[in-house]
Structure 1
Amino acid sequence: MLPIPPMMWQMRSLHLAWLTLAAAACGTDPVAVDPRTTSQLVLDGGLINESPQVIVLVVDDADTAEAAQLRERVAQSVRAGLLAVIESRWGTCGSPDPAQWHPGELRVVVARPSAPDAAALVTSREIPSLAWTTQTSREEEVEAVMAGVTEALGQRLAEPGEEYLPLRTARRALELVTGARAPEGEAEVALVRSLPQDRIARLLVASTRDDEGPGPVADEVPSQTALSMTLDTEVAGPFTTRDSTCSAIDEGSGRLAAWSELVRAEPIASHCDDQQTWDMLLHPGFADCGFICQAHPLAVDAGGVVACKVMIDQADLERCDAARGRHDPDGQPTFVERGGKELRRCEVVQLAGADLERCRHSLDCPGCPSGFCATEVPELVSQWRCMPSEHPWPLRFIGGAIEGRRGWINITCSTEAEK
């Protein structure tokens, strides 16, 4: 199998995957072959980028010092989780290329456990920074989200006489953002309309006290539909723990403990002082993506043009977006079927002239339009730790040339003959 630069690998909490590609002896849409080439190979596979996320936070809203400390810890967990997401987008499971997009869409919904239903949710409608949509994924962008989370968690504390219902609140909020229940009222309708269709959810319930709900705990477990769209559920509660660990060793017989077991969470103690535990609470997880090397180098002519064609089969049937370096193959609209769905095939432009030179030799690639090249930038090529007899796959994709959810990519290249 011939490799291409890794996209994203599946992780615990993000739908990230690099391309799954199959090599063939020849392709149906061949590239030009000259005497220096030894073979033609076709790589074809799914292009899956990070799914949009909705993080639901249900955090103790008591007007106590202990609850205030817990709210601060949860906010810091959000910060650590978002920084880890950025690291994955720029790291070995993403791309360190500053000229490539590093997109993502993430929203935080705070659900107040003591408030009436009509006032329970705090969303980006009230605090715009709770929605983080980016093409750059820079660390400085996290601080605005962090400020919004801190504001939302402390904006309204429990009022005297209000019943504390974190389990009911968690169920209703999760079912709403996953589409498992219909929205009620203008605010919920607006929230649902703002969410992308292919979203995934994460849920964190953190409390210094037990739930006060009157009904069976099993009634507050989110529906199977909601849970199937939720990658993980974290619970921090007033549980007994060892000094050396935050993991709960005795959750007791309370409602929060019983609910944790029903949703298959691994609870921690809310009074935990171990910062690493809180930093990992909303962490996206780890993956070893690695790089694959090949026996023959790609055929690149004296002008730096590589003997490759790159096609994207996209869900957008309207057009091939020139701003993203795409055009109709041979100038004709082309449609293909994959998995029973009609897709539009677009060819990705190989950069030319000064743009090609910048793509091949400049890490920042200032002014480069979207497209691709075979790069020689040391910081990018050096990622592949190939054996002396092996060669990297140096295709570089600039801007949004290969971005797009649930798309497919087809690459046909010629490789150089043995010298």
Structure 2
Amino acid sequence: MTNVSIIGLGQTDVREHWDTSIRHLAWYAIEAAMDDAHHHEIDAIYVGNMLAGQLSNQNHLGALVADFAGLRGSEALTVEAADASGGAALRQAVLAVQSGLVETALVVGVEKVTDESGAVIPAALATALDADYEAIHGQTLSGAAALLMRRYMHEYGLELADFAGFSVNAHANGAANPRAMYRNKLRPESFISATMTAAPVSLFDEAPTGDGAAAVIVTASERAADMVARPVRIVASALTTDALALHDRRDTLWLAAAETSARRAYEQAGLTPADIDVAELHDSFTILAALSLEACGFAARGRGWELARDGSIGRGGRVPISTFGGLKARGNPVGATGLYQIVEVAQQVRGTAGDCQVVGARVGLAQNLGGMGATAVTHILTCEE
């Protein structure tokens, strides 16, 4: 169990922020987190980002964000782990606070994607794959997800309609989230008939990329108890990796990094999957949601899709996921996604999730994946009365 707690939460809407720079996006989330914590003294800043160098022509985000947030002189750096960058940045903050060398850390995930269009964005996202053996041949994240989904369907005798429940659930929950990119509800028949991007992956099967920023402030749990009324304790933090290229994995239908990361988190927290009240999983594609449910111990191998079919993943179900819309409806701001997951789980266990609240949620899990699961970061959060 870690000795680190969250004292402040902040986020922006996920959408096309045409008139907002990457530094402003980061600041809006940081300002909200500072106001939530009533605390402005920061020792270290960890910025989760994947694509700023390619899409915003801006590297060196640590110094940029520190300066613009009025924290010039602070220790600050960027953490990159593809779309697991946000979760990985929080992991670094947890380690820093645990070490005793950093008293209070600010973690912000930020991404500007929609200033570009066309093939530029998929090409940038494809850098999460193996450049020498996958991307060079034209592979994209959608294409890689399609390979996994087609194999999964073949192995377990499934049809496309069997996955509709994931997107239907995400949109139903996103409709209650004022910060979500898409607040429209989705019918199962619309999911099935949607335009294919890489068959069997369709427009309603993969998450839309968007601009956004989310931030948290963390400190030692002993200090946190005296600083805010209801600090959220990070009882587990684990990051693991798998082979980057799908063809190098021993088992393409098993997210080994997600399993190991979740198992280590459960061990740290002294918990089991049955103890989790709410989970935010990386549903950038519905196949990853199904595989993550299995890897995290919520479903047996080959049975993750059943939880979407029978309603178990709904807010009133056995394993509520995508409670604010997930990546599918809230939107996927790539390097910031992991911090959105943390903010959302923290709101759930703190009881401040509003219309998205899971009744009685006290223990929450957030798992952030990079690419097709080559990186997996799992955090477990709790909030005591």
TM superposition score normalised by structure 1: 0.23
Higher share in strand: 1
Which of these two proteins has the greater Rg computed from alpha carbons?
Answer: 1
Higher share in helix: 2
Higher relative contact order (CA 8 A, sep 6+): 2
